[in-house]
């Protein structure tokens, strides 16, 4: 029983994560002739996976998107129309008045922004 629960089930879970990675991020597309190009493509897909994982972890647990799959996050948070206004000191995003996730996108932007570092002594 210990071997089944600790080894066999863990192997199955690892395979589920690989399948999820391939299905949600299309990381199984290694159609280039050169191995280096395919390797770079896999590295970029893994970086996208980490980014989407960070976005999902930054969503408050009370929201339904906190447990959503990456495809749902992509459709509801990333593929939305906004008007971008750039100035020298800031970037403003103007959402449509009917955008249901505008407040969440604003919260995520501030939650994922890099924090200023304290000055070294």
Q: What is the rounded distance in angstroms from the CA atom of residue 105 to the CA atom of residue 58? A: 10
Q: pLDDT 10s per residue in the chain (121 long)?
A: 888 877 777 778 778 777 877 777 777 777 778 888 888 888 888 888 888 888 999 999 988 888 888 888 888 888 888 899 999 988 888 888 888 888 888 888 888 888 777 766 6
pLDDT of residue 115: 79
DSSP 113: S
pLDDT value of residue 85: 92
Residue linked to tokens 């990333």? 78
């Amino acid at each position: 029983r210990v071997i089944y629960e600790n080894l066999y089930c863990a192997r199955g879970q690892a395979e589920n994560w690989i399948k999820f990675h391939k299905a949600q991020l299309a990381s199984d597309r290694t159609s280039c002739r050169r191995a280096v190009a395919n390797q770079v493509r896999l590295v970029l897909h893994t970086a996208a996976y980490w980014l989407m994982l960070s976005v999902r972890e930054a969503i408050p647990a009370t929201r339904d998107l906190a447990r959503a799959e990456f495809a749902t996050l992509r459709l509801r948070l990333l593929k939305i129309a906004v008007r971008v206004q750039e100035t020298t000191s800031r970037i403003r995003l103007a959402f449509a008045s009917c955008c249901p996730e505008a407040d969440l996108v604003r919260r995520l932007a501030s939650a994922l922004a890099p924090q200023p570092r304290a000055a070294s002594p």
